[in-house]
Amino acid sequence: SKAKLFDEKTDTRTSFKDVAGLEGAKEEVEEIVEFLRNPDKYTSLGGKIPKGALLVGPPGTGKTLLAKAVAGEAKVPFFSLSGSDFVEMFVGVGASRVRDLFKQAKEKSPAIIFIDEIDAIGRARGKNNFTGSNDERENTLNQLLTEMDGFGTNTNVIVLAATNRADVLDKALMRAGRFDRQIYVDLPDIRERKEIFEVHLRPIKTAETLDIDFLAKQTPGFSGADIANVCNEAALIAARKEKKAVTKQDFLDAVDRIVGGLEKKNKIIT
Ligand code: ATP
């Protein structure tokens, strides 16, 4: 049986409205949306549309969300795979998946290919070369480089890749004509956390008195994913208590719970 490693869907539901904060990153990807919407306009004078951009930043900061929003705003298909899917793959399989993915995207172009955790395949070659699976990782990386180089000037497929370890990536990935643009997606500051709360509070029935500034103040160091988690937990905590609406205290309890979870995670790592 063939494992399915990527999903393709025309995701018109995710838009820039779903992505809070990240003004700079949004501005940069806005250009990519423009290219995908009017490829002919941009290539008419002999220019080439960029092939790839790297989204760099800590986990849970909205890199996947942003990539989906690019596809959604441009109304183009979104093909995705994760670098971690390629770990421990049999020889030849990873490279053929990459070939297959690019073939499908080209057929449906204009399109976005999104590669999450690209560091899992894109680590500098020739390091930690102890295991067979590492050779396969190199094959996969080489195939990816080959595919990006092989794009014609009018392929109209843009590859977005995400990583939180840009420092370990093979420099060949960043060469001109590959992932030659880097877009930083940082943890949100207090103002951005407030905006992220506003997005994730939309579906939640809250008590009128809810003070979003206060919640933003209580959550330093939280990522967008953590904040989404807080909102969801708070709604579940309130529902368990048979409340009619979610209150400030439910949010504080949810924050405590997430902080506890983060501390545990950090303990396991160290
Ligand atoms: P990872 O590096 O772990 O893959 P990521 O940067 O790709 O993380 P996402 O998967 O995009 O992060 O974020 C997870 C979820 O967190 C999103 O689906 C969304 O619900 C929420 N989220 C993260 N950042 C934002 C943001 N800037 N605005 C709104 N929601 C956000």
Say how many Å lie between the CA of residue 1 and the centre of ligand 1. 32
Average pLDDT estimate for 72-84: 91
Residue nearest to atom 9 of ligand 1 (CA): 62
Is ligand 1 within 6 A of the CB of residue 122?
A: no
Look up the pTM and report it.
0.87
Burial label for 39, CB within 10 Å (0-12, 13-18, 19+), is: middle
Complex-level ipTM? 0.96
pLDDT at residue 6, as a whole number: 46
Atom of ligand 1 nearest to the CA of 68: 11
Is ligand 1 within 6 A of the CB of residue 65?
A: yes
pLDDT band at 87 (very low <50, low <70, confident <90, very high): low
Is ligand 1 within 6 A of the CB of residue 22?
A: yes
Atom of ligand 1 nearest to the CA of 185: 6
> Which two structure tokens, joined as six digits, stand for 45?
């004078």
Confirm whether residue 64 is marked as ligand binding.
Answer: yes
pLDDT at residue 3, as a whole number: 39
pLDDT in tens, 5-23: 444 454 457 999 999 999 9
- In the chain, what percentage of residues exceed pLDDT 90? 57
- In the chain, what percentage of residues exceed pLDDT 70? 86
Average pLDDT estimate for 34-49: 87
Atom of ligand 1 nearest to the CA of 55: 6
Residue nearest to atom 16 of ligand 1 (CA): 225
Is ligand 1 within 6 A of the CB of residue 58?
A: no
